[in-house]
Structure 1
């Protein structure tokens, strides 16, 4: 399972540094929020969103 603390950290980095395109970040936030609050997003989709966000944060692709 994706670590919620990691998710919060990644989102905090986005909002403070702003290196992730807004649309991608909003998608990741929306999917993760759905998963963490009501569990309706499959874990694989939430992890994919977080992985994409991490990729944008680290290499800026």
Structure 2
């Protein structure tokens, strides 16, 4: 599966912003951002990025 038009750096920046705004942990923010974007979880997001990257190795 191809990542959904976002880089991991972008996702992490959104999570950092959400963390500050909502007063939640960074892990909770990463999970929430990934779900908001359309992944099942942060772990699922990472798996998609790894699978996409491995296609070119």
TM-score, normalisation: structure 2:
0.40
Higher helix share: 1
Larger Rg: 2
